[in-house]
Amino acid sequence: MSTFKHFEEIEAWKLARAFAKQVYVNSARAIGPRDFSLQDHMRRSAVSIMANIAEGFERNGTKEFIQFLSVAKGSAGELRSHFYVAYDLGYFDKALFLSLSSQASMIGSKIGGLIQYLRTSAFRGSKFQQPRQTVKPTRNT
């Protein structure tokens, strides 16, 4: 928050955006209409990652941002779990499973790093900034 002015500048969001597109393309190609429910869950999880990063940032408070980043990180884990189902059912071959799983893990790690940074940062977002105190001049008598 102190280093970005817009959520589009956040590296984890950029990675999640590109990854969501990959999930859409690969789930359509590998699963198609055979299992709409699994495909839909994968897509929703992928979109949830980037959406929660953006929503948390726009809340303009560090505590809320961390909360939404935690949800985004959870969505990355949920998506990895869906990849196991797709692999176990034979929708994904091993190469696709490993590629998508490792990308989801990497994005989750990026989000985790951002959470750690925000927890140790002195910046607290505009909601948590203390108002400036005015100092009244004292008279020297």
- Long-range Cβ pairs for the range 25-28 (8 Å, 24+): 26/92, 26/96, 26/100, 27/86
What pLDDT does residue 105 have?
A: 98
What pLDDT does residue 124 have?
A: 60
What pLDDT does residue 121 have?
A: 81
What pLDDT does residue 94 have?
A: 98
What pLDDT does residue 107 have?
A: 98
What pLDDT does residue 137 have?
A: 55
Tokens 């869906």 belong to which residue? 82
What pLDDT does residue 60 have?
A: 79
The pTM assigned to this predicted structure is 0.84
How is the chain split into domains, by residue range?
A: 8-122
2 phi/psi in degrees, rounded to 5:
-80, -20
Check: CB of residue 13 under 8 Å from CB of residue 50. yes
Tokens coding 8: 């589009």
What pLDDT does residue 131 have?
A: 39
Tokens 């839909």 belong to which residue? 40
What pLDDT does residue 4 have?
A: 80
Q: Choose among 46, 38, 47, 69: nearest CA to 56.
A: 69
CB atoms under 10 Å from CB of 77, counted, come to: 13
Positions in the chain short of pLDDT 50 = 1-2, 127-135
Superfamily (CATH) of domain 8-122: 23S rRNA-intervening sequence (1.20.1440.60)
Could you give the residue ranges of the DSSP H alpha helices within the chain?
11-30, 36-58, 62-88, 94-120
